[in-house]
Chain A
Amino acid sequence: MRDLTGMNVPPDFGVRDDELSEVVIPSDLRSAKAPEERILAELQRCGYEDDAIFALKLALEEAMTNAVKHGNRNDAAKHIWVRYHVDPRRVVIMVRDEGCGFCPDKVPDPTAEENLERPNGRGLMLMYSYMTKVRYNDRGNEVWLLKERE
């Protein structure tokens, strides 16, 4: 397993690096359910509303799907790093894969007329739509998600 040291939590996300929990999982969609269940259980414990739970489940699943399918290219021998923090005011999640990364600015707009019928390419747009902030590292293999409670 390549240990890819990532960036620290973005300073404007409102939590310290030492407040994050970390999980490392094999790179497949089934294994990706384990950290999701932990994070969603924390949301329930903190009393988050249904809309926020939907938004976080969606953004996390999109980040995981991108990591498994695009980042690690469905190579189950690779790994995914998940770091997270949940408190009653905000949720911070980081997902990092072992891939070469990508440039988020170059992903085509899935809502453009010519892309509407494409079966893929919506994950990034959904993360930006449902989260308060989304940040990628320079390499493009690590995404940070922030959801502030409304």
Chain B
Amino acid sequence: MLPPAGHDPLEQPLEISVRPDGPAVIVNLRGSAGMEEGEQLGPRLASLISTDAPHLILDLSELLFISSLGIGAILAAHAVARKAGGGVRLVHPRPAVQRLLTLTRIDQLLPTDATLDAAVRAVV
């Protein structure tokens, strides 16, 4: 269905779904992580990390937009995860988000997997 006229296609509420999987927590980020959502994302992601499940796998395949605050939230979560013995992995970002990750060189800091299965295999 086409969005109504004047509708901002990037202005979708951010929906976060969480699924534990062994030593990892899989987080699906769906919608738009703009400045307001980005600021709230950091504490939310950090709260999911524990020594039992120190790996955070972020499924970005349905993430339409992210600003520097959202990037900062992911990096803050990565720091927490590393202290717990794990780290953050990214899965299948859309081209616009991938371009941002490349420009900021985040894609050299955090491993990116083409599929969720590959990300899970990497941490098991």
Q: Does A111 contact B (CB under 8 A)?
A: yes
Which residues of B have CB within 8 Å of A30? 36
Report the minimum CB–CB distance from A45 to chain B (whole Å).
7
Q: Is the CB of B67 within 8 A of A61?
A: yes
Q: Is the CB of B104 within 8 A of A57?
A: no
Asked if A122 meets B68 with Cβ closer than 8 Å, knowing A45-B6, A111-B105, the reply is: yes
Contact with A along B33-53 (1 / 0, CB 8 A): 011100100100000000000
Question: A58 to B101, alpha carbons, bound, how many Å?
Answer: 13
Question: A33 to B101, alpha carbons, bound, how many Å?
Answer: 24
Which residues of A have CB within 8 Å of B65? 54, 57-58
Contact with B along A109-129 (1 / 0, CB 8 A): 011000011111011011001
Question: A137 to B44, alpha carbons, bound, how many Å?
Answer: 37
Q: Does A105 contact B (CB under 8 A)?
A: no
Q: Does B89 contact A (CB under 8 A)?
A: no
Q: Does B5 contact A (CB under 8 A)?
A: yes
Report the minimum CB–CB distance from B86 to chain A (whole Å).
15
Interface size bracket, B side? 20 to 34
Asked if A65 meets B11 with Cβ closer than 8 Å, knowing A50-B96, A117-B79, A117-B109, the reply is: no
Asked if A65 meets B67 with Cβ closer than 8 Å, knowing A37-B8, A41-B8, A116-B109, the reply is: yes
Identify the stretch in B13-21, B23-31, B69-77, B112-120 within 8 Å (CB) of chain A at 4 or more residues: B69-77
Asked if A64 meets B100 with Cβ closer than 8 Å, knowing A40-B8, A54-B10, A119-B73, the reply is: no
Chain A contact surface mostly: helix
Asked if A58 meets B36 with Cβ closer than 8 Å, knowing A41-B6, A122-B104, A126-B103, the reply is: no
Which residues of A have CB within 8 Å of B34? 33, 57, 61
CB nearest neighbor in A for B69 = A65
A binding-site residues for B, Cβ under 8 Å: 29-30, 32-33, 37, 40-41, 44-45, 50-51, 53-54, 57-58, 61-62, 64-65, 110-111, 116-120, 122-123, 125-126, 129
A-B contacts, 6 of them at CB < 8 A, read: A37-B11, A44-B5, A50-B96, A58-B65, A58-B100, A123-B68
For the complex with contacts A57-B65, A122-B71, 15 further pairs of A-B residues with Cβ separation under 8 Å are A37-B8, A54-B65, A57-B34, A58-B65, A58-B100, A62-B67, A116-B106, A117-B75, A117-B78, A117-B109, A119-B71, A119-B73, A122-B68, A125-B104, A129-B103
